[in-house]
Each structure stands twice: as structure tokens, then as C-alpha cells.
Structure 1
């Protein structure tokens, strides 16, 4: 049981788009603190506990006129460190709160034990508790960016080096998953003198306004027989969403709302779009974290959608099967009803007095840096065509007064600044699962010469799966990928040690 929850905890850093997906993340965050406490209690044999501290960071690293600072949380685990010259493994947190578990479990922790590494982790600014008073106000969110986050990491490097009397012989390797995976790659790219190598798991390094390829990969994964998908499954999904849209067009929104257990009747066009996005999120979340989080998998989802589920032996229409699937989702997530109110979504995103899970902060970053809007206007998308780019980008001016016409230039800047999916960096390992929709924005091909071992693509594997502790049921492809990561990280540590003893 502990290993199952551990997997969930290590996945919560990964990026979400729709509201239902974000709710899944919030529930994982709630479980995180309980699981971390249980894990610590179970380790009575160990006398070492993570050290928690704060580093006081400038609110703005790039102008020297201001004096405002904020306290940024970090964690240190010295349990495996071979003093004084052992390496430093840096775990980078993304768009969520930093947990003690980040330096207690995971593939990077197993490698730290093998190499005698000091484990350190830093919470991202404006997430968790690393935020100034009033930090969610729009005028303060201007200090939330990946560039500021990288500068935070550089200052943290100096802080840890001074605190633990580290020298050039202590090689640093960074690790991160999803957005934090991109930060890991970018930290190596922008500060190569600070971090010797970087592992970037499921890292979307290519910013993109219209991320339609996300739903394309979801559709392809739902057809993949190696993970329990089929052409029949995708066809059933198409049929189900078409049936729901047809019912709404016939003015049957009251019955639709009852069928799917909606908290409110989706009467307005905005509510109907919210509703259809929520239904799509169930499929998108299941694919993204297939076999890694919760009881819903592609195989089980497709069994339900193709009348193969043992629980429902009778032949049903695609609409009814989608109703059943939604009920199962609500049971799993302990949701009494499906919230489809567009107005409530806006109110939630406009909250500036409660830090919460980071939904508002992350949406701000999509407007200012990344896009990542998962649309369904492409013919390959198996969901509703009402999930348009316009319905998502219109929130940027509404929430933050960021004009829609500026989004493309913001994203272009990000790609120019970091190199997009053609980064000119060395000793960065990009790890992706081919079931994961985010692989479309990562690096999946090897380079040449010294950079010839820069990509690992894992067959039938989901988002950030390589970061989790090894389980008996892990696929052979995933087990092999972890071995390949270990070999490369080991080579980095050995090479750096040879270079730095001279």
C-alpha cells in the first residue's frame, strides 16, 4: 500500500489543464501529507530525518532596486551522503507543495543511496508555502516565472554549498518531472557551471499555444492494444461524446445533468463546454497516468466503453457507458456530483486569499509563458469540438488582464529563451513514456556525438512513471529504462569525479 501511495505523491508535480484533472491533483496533495507521515513513522530504524529550512530569496532577481524577499522552503536528506565529496542530487519541485517524500523515496533517492549523494529539494516560488503575503494578487504574480525559478535554484545552490562546505568536487545532478522536468533541463542549460547533468522526466520543453497534439496522443493511446486500448474503444468514445452533444443541442440539458450527476444543470454554452471538458478530463487523466495512479486505467476504461466490463454485462449505448464511467470516476474521487459551473470555475481561479493547490498560479504561467491549452478542434480528437482554443485563452484577459493577442509572443519568447525541443545542451537526459500525451512537447530523439544518449522513450509507459519507486508489477520496458538512467547518471558522477580531482 505504501508504494502505491508513494507513486501518487511523486506524480503530483505534473502539469494539468482541466478542472477535473486539477481536482484529481488536489486529492493527491491531500493524501501526500498523510502518506509522508506514515512513511516517516514506519522508518523507526533510521535516525536521520529530512531537515527543513527556508532560504530568503529576492522577489525579483533581475532588478536591483527592490528589497522585497520571500521565504522559500527547502528540504535536505543527509542519510546517504558520503562526506565530504559525495555528489548532490537536486530534486526540483514544480507547480505544487514540496513534500518530505521528495527526499525520502523515488528513483532519484535510490540512486542517491547508490552513489552516496546528499539529497536536496527546493519548493517553487509562489507554490506551497513559498509565497509572499498577497502573492496571488495579479500585481504580485508578475514575479512568478520559470526564469525567476531558475535564479532561485542558482541562489539555492550557493546556499547549500555554503551551509555544507561543498566544493567543486561535489558534483550536482538535477531531477524533475513534467514542468519541473523542464526546469531541470533548463537549469542545466542556463547554469552549466552549477549542475553537471540533468534528468528531465516527461518534460514539456516546447511551449505551445494550441496543444492539440495532447488529445491526438490520448486518442492514439486509447487505441494501443499493448495498454488495453482498441479501435473499438476510441470509436465508442467518439460516439459517446457525439451523443452527449446531440442531447444538449436538442435542449435536453436537464436530463443530461441528471444522467451524469452534475451539481447544476449545464444550461449555458459556457457550462456545457465546462461539462464536456470535465468528461474529457476523465479520459485524459486516465491516459496520462495509466497504471500509475488510482484504479482507473486505459484497460478498465476501454472495458467499460466497449461493454466488456463484467460489472455491466448488458449491451448499452455509448452514451450510457459514458454515464457509468463518470459515476465510477465520482466514486473514486469521492465527488458527490460533477461540478460543471463555469461561473464557479472563474470564482475559484480568481481566489487571491488562499494559496490552495496552485491552480491560479499555474494558469497565470500558461498565459505568460507556456500555453499548453489542450484543445479538441483537430479531427483526430475523440472528444467534443466545443473544447476550443478560444474558450481557454479568454480566461487570460478575464483573470489577469493579459490580452489574448500577446499569448503567442509570450510563448515564442519562452522557446527562443530555452531552445524549445531543439535545445543546444549536453548531459541532459529526457525520459518519456510513449503513452504520455506530454511527450509531444519533449525531446524524444537522441542527438549526435556527446549528446547521442539524451533521450529514452519507454514503451507503454505513462507520465513521470520512471521517477517512482520500483514495483513488482512494473513493465519490463520501465524497469529497463530505470537501469539505463542509472547507467548514465553513474557515468556522469564517475566522469565528474575524475575531472575534478585534477
Structure 2
């Protein structure tokens, strides 16, 4: 008896595994590049007006211990940081610390963004610290598994504490200088955890889109993607979600029918996806476009949900297209936007890239971040249940096999590692004060953040929820096209930070 098409494809692909999210990583990098471009434009505006904050930015390096918890280990690594003194009111002005996450930072994170706007208002010293083992702050011994042993959020928090001491000595800071930390996504979690673990060093923390709860099977990511594509407030619809499902089913059917060459031609693949691993790569890459569009909706990174759903529901075509052809058009638009000559679907190349332990590969950050997911967080965006709008072939098993292959970390140990992370930090029920969690209603990462207040008597609100915005949208400088809910959220953040600074100043005077 023949099995169903979907069931056969699932059984075939379960025998293999793939790393997911290559296009999603590229979209994230594109978001970072776009933020840099906006920062440069912001800087140009200031320069034309006669104000030149860039002249006050300096870059430096602090030599941090490889292991803060083993004083017998003499190894160090250079950690990059930036300082912007343009707005600082010496000697007692506050300190705003921008925390780097799983990628490089540049001087522009001290020159533009909502935290910089607030720093200008409050006459704050602006700092930015790059995360250990990312960007230029790399272990000089390379990215071999043994050398990644000191890459962890706990070590990163210890870096922040040492950096606090270093900056305090360098600028002769005292208890009169109130520190506020800022971060988004993983760095948002670090901002919250820094306040929680070192409350004597940082007075308040802003944590945007912060996944403070580690989770092995993050199936709810794609569930929220589906709900967001169905959300009429942001341009989605039920017809859109249905069209997406039909399109992916059509691609799967074409592959199972042995039409890999035609599929490769239609989607401009660099390779013909005959191997099942390459077929998973193709399907994941296609899904990444939708995942990235939802995660960065209306931030100008790729397509908005409204634009994407317009294409998937044939709103702009005089002659109706079938779902498969609509998906082909989406891929064509992605490639024209990113200027990619073809779509790389080679699983072998992807694994080789992750095995690259050289220092020049560090800026790509893929190996380092995968290591952290294997050792601390999970965050595997699976697609096994009915809520996933794409396909049912990317399973938890297929993803976690990479931990064993690349780092020798057994799949059986992952649950224990993630449980420790949640116990150590408190997951999404942390007992912290003066931490502000900001999340967007269509951001899939909200599922792992703090979105509800559990207040004791006398405690202030710790949550700002923006029902119709996406990932870290609040961190950018405001624009005329911003939704009213986003503008209101920024005002609330400003009010909260102002209140913290006033309260801290009163405590110093008393």
C-alpha cells in the first residue's frame, strides 16, 4: 500500500537533518545593516545642523579573562567597546549601557537609536560592549569546540561587571552616576539578567523582545508566524495563511514527484535539490522569507506582512496564479532585494560553513550562536504540529543532531542544560525590579519573554506590550510612518527611564 505524499516525504526527511535559518540569519544581518544606514543618516542630519556627536565616539578594547570563574586560567581575549561622550554632563550624568548580542557591533549603536535619543535628553554617557566571541571580540585561539567552552551568558554577564568597573575607574564614576542597561532580543535578555544578577551595578534595565525563557522545542515561533499572517490589523488574512500552506504543499509534491530540476529552475537554486538534505534546505529557505518578514514587519528589511500576503493572495495580478507560482514570485522578489544570484540549498556546504573554526569566520556568528543554543537555550524553531503554516519536516530531532555532530553535545543532555538556564535566571517569571520588558504582538519571540505582570503590592508595571508591532521595533529612533501604538510605547519607555533617574537622584541626595 502506498503511503500518502506528505507521509512519505516526512519519513524520507526524518532520516536526515539540516541547519535551519540561513536566510533568516541573512535577513537579521540585513536588519542590522539597515539600522546602520539609519544611524548614518541620523548622524548626517546632526552634522548638517552643526552638531557632530561622532567626534566624541572612541573605540577601545578591554582584555577580559577567558574564564571569570577560574582564576587559575590566565587566558584573556580582547573585548571591543565604544564610548560616546557627546551628551554627557560631567561628572554626575547617568550612564546608558548598550549590550551587544550574537553578532558584531559598531560605533553607530552609540550614535542612533531610541536609547541615544534618551541619552541626549538626560545628558548621559553612552557605552556599548560587544559580546564575547562575536565580531572582533574573539577568543584568539579560534572557534574550536574546546575554545568555545567559555562562551556563555554567565561569562557575558561577568564581562559586563568587569567592564562596569573598568569604565568607572577610567571616567572616575561614583554612586552618583546611575547606570541603565539596554538590549534587544538575546541582548535584551542579557540586559534583564544583568540587572537581576548585579543589581548593585545597574539601577534599571530595558529589555526589548527578550527571550528570557529557554525552550528546546520552540514550535510556538511558527505558530505565531501563522497567526501574524492571519492578522488583519497588520495586513494578513485567512486566505493568506491558506495560500502559504498550499504553496509549500505544492513544492513538496513536486519534489516527491521527482521534479527537482524544475523546482531548482523555478526558484533559481544554485544546486538541484535531489538529496533529501538539500530539499529540507530549500523548504527552510522558503519558510525563512516568511519568518523574517513577520519578525521584522514594517521595518523596511524585506517585505511587510501586508505586501507578502498581497502576493500570496494574488491581489495585484490581472491573471490569477496558482499558489506555487505565487511562492516563486516571492522568491524572485527576495533575490532582487538581496541581489543574490541564486538560492544556495546545499546542505553539505552549510555544514562545512558551521565547521569553520577560523577567526575570519567569527563575524558570521553562526557557529558561536549554534553552540549557545546547544549549551544554554535551545530555541529550535520546529514545524511539527498543525499550527505551523509551512511544512512538517523540520523536527526537533533533525535540528538537535547538529549539536552532536559539531560539538559532541548529546541530544539527551539538552533538556538538562536548558532547565539549568531557566532555574539560574528565573525564566519568564523572574523576581527582578526595575526591569522593563517590551514586546510586540506579532513578534514570535514574545512567547519566550515576559508579557504579563505578576505584581506584588507597591511594585510598578514591568511590561509594555505593543499589539501590532514586531521584533525590537521600539529600539529604533521614531519615524513619521510609525504606528501610533509604537509612538505611545516609546513615550512610556521614556517616562519609565526618567522616573528611574529621578528616583536614583533623590536617593543620592537623601
TM-score grouping bracket, smaller chain normalisation: over 0.9
Equivalent of 1:334 in 296, 319, 339: 339
Query: For the structure 1 residues 362 and 108, does the alpha-carbon distance in structure 2 shift closer, same or farther, using more than 3 Å as the test?
Result: same
Q: Which residue of 2 aligns with 1:219?
A: 226
Q: Does 1:204 align with 2:211?
A: yes
Structure 2 Cα separation of the partners of residues 351 and 382 of structure 1: 33
Matched residue SS, 1:263: coil
Q: Which residue of 2 aligns with 1:305?
A: 312
Q: Which residue of 2 aligns with 1:56?
A: 63
Query: For the structure 1 residues 220 and 227, does the alpha-carbon distance in structure 2 shift closer, same or farther, using more than 3 Å as the test?
Result: same
Matched residue SS, 1:199: strand
Deviation at 1:451, TM superposition (A): 3.7
Indicate conservation of the 8 Å contact 2:439/2:451, yes or no: yes
Indicate conservation of the 8 Å contact 1:446/1:452, yes or no: no
Equivalent of 1:358 in 341, 361, 365: 365
Deviation at 1:293, TM superposition (A): 2.9
Equivalent of 1:382 in 371, 383, 389: 389
Equivalent of 1:187 in 185, 194, 210: 194
Equivalent of 2:424 in 388, 393, 417: 417
Q: Does 1:484 align with 2:487?
A: no
Q: Which residue of 2 aligns with 1:19?
A: 22
Deviation at 1:269, TM superposition (A): 1.3
TM-score, with length taken from structure 1: 0.94
Deviation at 1:427, TM superposition (A): 0.6
Q: Which residue of 1 aligns with 2:12?
A: none
Indicate conservation of the 8 Å contact 1:88/1:120, yes or no: yes
TM-score, with length taken from structure 2: 0.92
Query: For the structure 1 residues 408 and 185, does the alpha-carbon distance in structure 2 shift closer, same or farther, using more than 3 Å as the test?
Result: same
Matched residue SS, 1:356: helix
RMSD, matched Cα: 1.6
Q: Does 1:429 align with 2:436?
A: yes
Deviation at 1:33, TM superposition (A): 6.5
Q: Which residue of 2 aligns with 1:405?
A: 412
Structure 2 Cα separation of the partners of residues 302 and 325 of structure 1: 10
The runs of 4+ residues in structure 1 deviating greater than 4 Å are 27-43
Q: Does 1:323 align with 2:328?
A: yes
Q: Which residue of 1 aligns with 2:105?
A: 98
Cα deviation 1:273-329 (Å, max 9, x = unaligned): 1111111000000000000133411001000000002xx321011111001101111
Q: Which residue of 2 aligns with 1:7?
A: none
Indicate conservation of the 8 Å contact 2:180/2:203, yes or no: yes
Q: Which residue of 2 aligns with 1:453?
A: 461
Query: For the structure 1 residues 283 and 340, does the alpha-carbon distance in structure 2 shift closer, same or farther, using more than 3 Å as the test?
Result: same
Structure 2 Cα separation of the partners of residues 17 and 497 of structure 1: 48
- Structure 2 gap segments, 5+ residues each: 1-18
Deviation at 1:138, TM superposition (A): 1.0
- Structure 1 gap segments, 5+ residues each: 1-15
Matched residue SS, 1:497: helix
Structure 1 Cα separation of the partners of residues 302 and 32 of structure 2: 17
Q: Which residue of 1 aligns with 2:473?
A: 465
Deviation at 1:356, TM superposition (A): 2.6
Deviation at 1:378, TM superposition (A): 1.2
Query: For the structure 1 residues 444 and 242, does the alpha-carbon distance in structure 2 shift closer, same or farther, using more than 3 Å as the test?
Result: same
Structure 2 Cα separation of the partners of residues 110 and 31 of structure 1: 18
Indicate conservation of the 8 Å contact 1:223/1:234, yes or no: yes
Query: For the structure 1 residues 282 and 200, does the alpha-carbon distance in structure 2 shift closer, same or farther, using more than 3 Å as the test?
Result: same
Query: For the structure 1 residues 39 and 438, does the alpha-carbon distance in structure 2 shift closer, same or farther, using more than 3 Å as the test?
Result: same
Cα deviation 1:165-219 (Å, max 9, x = unaligned): 1111111000000000000000000000000110000000000000000000000
Structure 2 Cα separation of the partners of residues 114 and 269 of structure 1: 56
Q: Which residue of 2 aligns with 1:349?
A: 354
Q: Which residue of 2 aligns with 1:273?
A: 280
Structure 2 Cα separation of the partners of residues 108 and 42 of structure 1: 18
Indicate conservation of the 8 Å contact 1:36/1:99, yes or no: no
Structure 2 Cα separation of the partners of residues 472 and 322 of structure 1: 32
Q: Which residue of 2 aligns with 1:497?
A: 505
Structure 1 Cα separation of the partners of residues 342 and 459 of structure 2: 50
Query: For the structure 1 residues 38 and 459, does the alpha-carbon distance in structure 2 shift closer, same or farther, using more than 3 Å as the test?
Result: closer
Cα deviation 1:354-406 (Å, max 9, x = unaligned): 22321111011000000000001011100010111111111111111111111
